[in-house]
Amino acid sequence: MDIVETLGSGNGALECIDMHTAGEPTRIIVNGYPDLNGTLLEQRAQAKSHYDHIRRQLILEPRGHYDMYGALLRPQTEKTTSGEADIGVLFMTNDGYSTMCGHATIALGRFLVDTHDPKVFPNRDRLQYDSKSGIVNLRLHAPCGVLQVRVPALANGQKSDPSKPVSFTSVECFTTGLSIKIPLSPDDRWPQLKSSALITADFSYGGAFYCFVSAQELGFGQGLTSFDMDAMNIATKRLKAAIIRNPDMRHLYAHPEFDDLSFLYSVIVTDQNLGEPLGSSKGAETGLCFFSDQEVDRSPTGSGVSARLALAQARGTLVSGESWTYHSLVTLRKAKQSAFVGTLLDVQKEENNKCSRVRTQVEGYAYYTGRHTFFVEEADPLAQDGFLMSHLSKP
């Protein structure tokens, strides 16, 4: 079959590797994307303004689906040029470009150790292998900063070891609000709420900004043991909208340095009574993450784990060196050993009663699921811009 027009604006067919981390997909673009330049945040802006059709073609239907996730490798950024990072990445969701993604970082750790193609990863030979620990160390430049990734490896560091978890060290994480009262208008409410016009939630940053609220606080009395997913989707969507509309709450998701990072990425519904600890973890809990345009994370959400560790430190329930296990519904019910284990690392005390800044370690397992070469036929009216079935009923 003749290919009339390929994705990637003339750079050849767009090639991707697909992986999953605790059930959450990562579609890694390895070849064919148009060139970007400048800092990583400038490249992110270029991707949004000039090449967003490629994101839609790959992430949305008919090639993707509502909950697909993507990663675009960026071999050259200001951090790779300075020697502070080995490679950069941009993250893609169903409605844009996130600033941090833990599950994708875990998947990328394995892939970047396994690839030896200099066109995909020019700095592959720069990676250091520690023969004593069996670990390859990788520095990944994400929009939120540089992540230190540790990848268990075989064959003297030439291939990742899928039987052991990949881990990463976060950027600085911090809590922005504990037990915040969120007012709801009559239009914001949902049927499960019985009386209260206020919702109590916590806010924290783990490379992206999160709102954390218990299932019971939202009116789901059985927690995450048994609930209606459609009803939970409505509740979290209305809660997020109420927060974003309220100017008095903007400080809860305002980044102190970069405006591009100042947005509320997700609402995570928590159940602290559900889950089993792994290894030496002090305890466990379960979360359900609605992010971007109400995507549902199948994994425990890596950057969300970092944000939850910052919350635990702020509340005094974890101290440096202690670990906690974080489940998603998938890991809880399908494969408990696939849960993420988060460990609180460095804690920097802040003056003036501000919440401390912390660094965290998050570990989990990622696996390959496929390899794809995508293209768009010029005559195909449905594939040019992608679509979401769930949005077709909207005006």
Full set of structural domains in the chain with CATH: 5-165+368-373 (3.10.310.10), 173-364 (3.10.310.10)
pLDDT of amino acid 352 = 62
In the DSSP assignment, the letter for residue 335 is: -
Q: Is 119 exposed, middle or buried (0-12, 13-18, 19+ CB in 10 A)?
A: exposed
H-type helices in 327-391, by residue range? 329-333
- Interhelix angle 52-59/40-50, rounded to 10 degrees, is 80
Average pLDDT over all residues of the chain:
94
pLDDT of amino acid 155 = 84
The distance from CA 117 to its chain's CA centroid, rounded to whole angstroms, is: 26
Between the alpha carbon of residue 66 and those of residues 21, 49, 155, 207, 390, the distances in Å are 17, 21, 38, 23, 8
Q: What is the pLDDT of residues 207-231, one digit of tens each?
A: 999 999 999 999 999 999 999 999 9
Active site residue 173: no
* pTM across the whole model: 0.95
**pLDDT, mean of residues 20-38:** 96
Tokens 């023969």 correspond to 131
User: How far, in Å, CA of 357 to CA of 143, rounded?
Assistant: 18
Going by their DSSP bridges, the two strands 14-21 and 24-31 should be labelled as: antiparallel
pLDDT of amino acid 217 = 96
Phi, psi of 308 (to 5 degrees): -70, -35
Kindly tell me the sign of the dihedral angle through the C-alpha atoms of 207, 208, 209, 213: negative
Please pick, among 16, 101, 289, 355, the residue that the annotation labels catalytic.
101
In the beta sheet, which residues pair with residue 166?
Answer: 364
Between the alpha carbon of residue 170 and those of residues 116, 272, 394, the distances in Å are 26, 23, 38
Q: Is residue 308 within 8 Å of residue 206, measured between CB atoms?
A: yes
| Residues 6 or more apart whose Cβ sits within 8 Å of residue 119 | 31
Going by their DSSP bridges, the two strands 198-205 and 173-183 should be labelled as: antiparallel
Q: What is the pLDDT of residues 50-78, one digit of tens each?
A: 999 999 999 999 999 999 999 999 999 99
Cα angle, residue 106 at apex, residues 327 and 240 outer, rounded to 5°: 55
The CA-based dihedral angle spanning residues 373, 379, 385, 387, taken in that order and rounded to the nearest 10 degrees = -90
- Count of CB atoms within 10 A of residue 33's CB? 23
Residue 211, both tokens: 């709102």
Between the alpha carbon of residue 135 and those of residues 19, 89, 115, 151, 182, the distances in Å are 21, 21, 16, 5, 45
User: How far, in Å, CA of 300 to CA of 320, rounded?
Assistant: 21
Q: What is the pLDDT of residues 336-364, one digit of tens each?
A: 999 999 999 989 877 665 678 999 999 99
